[in-house]
Each structure stands twice: as C-alpha cells, then as structure tokens.
Chain A
Amino acid sequence: EDQVTQSPEALRLQEGESSSLNCSYTVSGLRGLFWYRQDPGKGPEFLFTLYSAGEEKEKERLKATLTKKESFLHITAPKPEDSATYLCAVQAGGNYQLIWGAGTKLIIKP
C-alpha cells in the first residue's frame, strides 16, 4: 500500500535556528513528490515539485531534496513568518490523485 509519513509531527525552533523536516514514502513508481505549506484556515500553498532522486530545489530559506526513499525540507535561519504546517504529497503509478502525509507543524519563536 502506498504510504507517506512525515516527521516530526511538530517542531519548535528559535528564530534563526536551522533544521530539517522529513517525508518518507513507500510507493510504486514515484512520478512526483510535492511540498506544500498550509496556514491555519487556508488551503495548502504549493512550494516545490521533485521528480527524481538527487534533485534539489530552493526558494528563499527553504530547500527540498529527494532520495529514493525520502525527501527533506531544509529550513535555513527561519523567521516567525515561516511558522505553518508543511505537507508532503506524492503522485505514483498510474494514479492522478496525491497521497498525503499528515504534515509537520513548524513553530518559529522570535
């Protein structure tokens, strides 16, 4: 069964304290892995798509990487406005739907 697991469930950091969020997946035939950010009361906001192992993408303080089993979202020198839930999702096989993890709630304290 295709599965996506995110860890940790919650992460509290001080402003400027870099860290990483993990997304592990077990799917047949990965076609793409997506990272989204979700603020309370809003829909998920697209961040990155990764297609193959070894690929990396960056946006401001965020960098996403992909291996054959997991993806990391690295946050460098975070600011309070980076506080949100970060969701990972995969598209695999012949399916069009996304399979989602439960998310990591990130809190950045000033």
Chain B
Amino acid sequence: GAGVSQTPSNKVTEKGKYVELRCDPISGHTALYWYRQSLGQGPEFLIYFQGTGAADDSGLPNDRFFAVRPEGSVSTLKIQRTERGDSAVYLCASSLLSGGPYEQYFGPGTRLTVT
C-alpha cells in the first residue's frame, strides 16, 4: 500500500517568509509525528498527534512553529518568519496505534533551505 508522503520534497525560501509543509500518513494510522533532521544527526522530535489533537508538542523549538491535523489524517507543519537555522530535513512519520512502543513509518522528508 501507499506509504507516508510529504510535499514538497524541496522548499527554498527567503529569511522571514512563511512556509507550510504537508504530510499524508498511511491510511488508518492514528498517530502522526513530525521530526527534523540536520546533516549527520538523528531525527529530532517536534510534535506528536493522536488523532486530531497534539498530544505532545514539547519538541517545537519556539512559537514560530505550529502544526495542525484538523481531520485526523493529513497534517501541516507551519513555520513563520523563517530563519536560516530552520534549514533542515523535516520528516513526518505515522504509526498504526498511539502510545506504543509501535514502529513508526517515515516519509521521504521535505528539505527546507532558508536563504
């Protein structure tokens, strides 16, 4: 079946602009996670959704970052007033159930470059 998809695959934006990154999880997966990954590092947790609600947003670095999942499926990560330090690969993952430990399945990521 279809895996996790993310769009766009690449995004280049200027410092100070607003960006939206989209994640379409595996159908039927109730849990959705956002991570970001810098070169040579493991993924860094940002936020976790259980259904429509954000169950844990402790990894969001500041209030410029926000994510939604209004219908419990597709999620959008929103970054306001982008900074060069936001440049990274943003990964989305989903799992069949919440809680865990359940394996998470990842999308290919969105490479964000802030110039």
Residues on A facing B (Cβ under 8 Å) = 4, 31-32, 34, 36, 41-46, 49, 51, 87, 89, 91, 95-103
Contact = CB atoms under 8 A, between A and B. Distances in A.
A43 B42 contact: no
Contacts, number: 66
Given A43-B91, A97-B45, A98-B45, A91 B100 contact: yes
A7 to B, nearest CB: 13
Interface stretch (B14-22, B75-83, B103-111): B103-111
Given A42-B108, A43-B4, A43-B107, 13 more contacts: A31-B100, A31-B101, A36-B106, A44-B106, A46-B104, A91-B100, A96-B31, A96-B50, A98-B33, A98-B43, A103-B40, A103-B41, A103-B42
Contacts of A87: 42-43
Interface of B: 4, 31, 33, 40-45, 48, 50, 55-56, 58-59, 91, 93, 98-101, 103-109
A75 to B, nearest CB: 19
A10 B4 CA distance: 28
A47 to B, nearest CB: 9
Nearest to A99: B45
A44 B4 CA distance: 11
Contacts of A89: 42-43
B101 to A, nearest CB: 3
A97 B56 contact: yes
A96 B56 contact: yes
A101 B91 CA distance: 16
